[in-house]
Amino acid sequence: CLDSKGELHEFGSSWRNEDCLDCSCSRDAIHCCTNFATPVGYDQEKCVSIFNKETCTYKVVEKEDHSKECTVNAWVG
């Protein structure tokens, strides 16, 4: 399988790409899906979600003070 970056992967292999997608290679195609949840139920006027590509996770913090986390009531993934 040849991925979108031109890297070759063996049939039956799996990997996580730089966009935090879990991918696998079969004889038919490459399949990729998200492995993280996205926060949706929080105060969007007061807070902002920040994605960390190293840990593949979101953190929801106050816009004015990123050291203060916000409550998240719903996630989608």
Identify the residue whose tokens are 């979600």.
49
**Amino acid letter, 72:** V
Instruction: Answer yes or no: do 30 and 45 share one domain.
Output: no
Instruction: Answer yes or no: do 61 and 47 share one domain.
Output: yes
The per-type count for the chain, helices as H runs and strands as E runs, is 0, 7
| Model confidence pLDDT, tens digit, residues 10-34 | 999 999 998 999 999 999 999 999 9
| Model confidence pLDDT, tens digit, residues 46-65 | 999 999 999 999 999 999 99
Q: What does DSSP say about strands 75-76 and 47-52: parallel, antiparallel, or unpaired? A: unpaired
In sign, the C-alpha dihedral spanning 23, 26, 30, 32 is: negative
Instruction: Answer yes or no: do 42 and 26 share one domain.
Output: no
Task: Fill in the DSSP letter of residue 22.
Answer: E
pTM over 0.75: no
Identify the residue whose tokens are 């696998």.
24
Instruction: Answer yes or no: do 27 and 47 share one domain.
Output: no
The domain that contains 12 carries what CATH number?
Answer: 2.10.70.10
* Domain around 65: 38-76
Instruction: Answer yes or no: do 19 and 47 share one domain.
Output: no
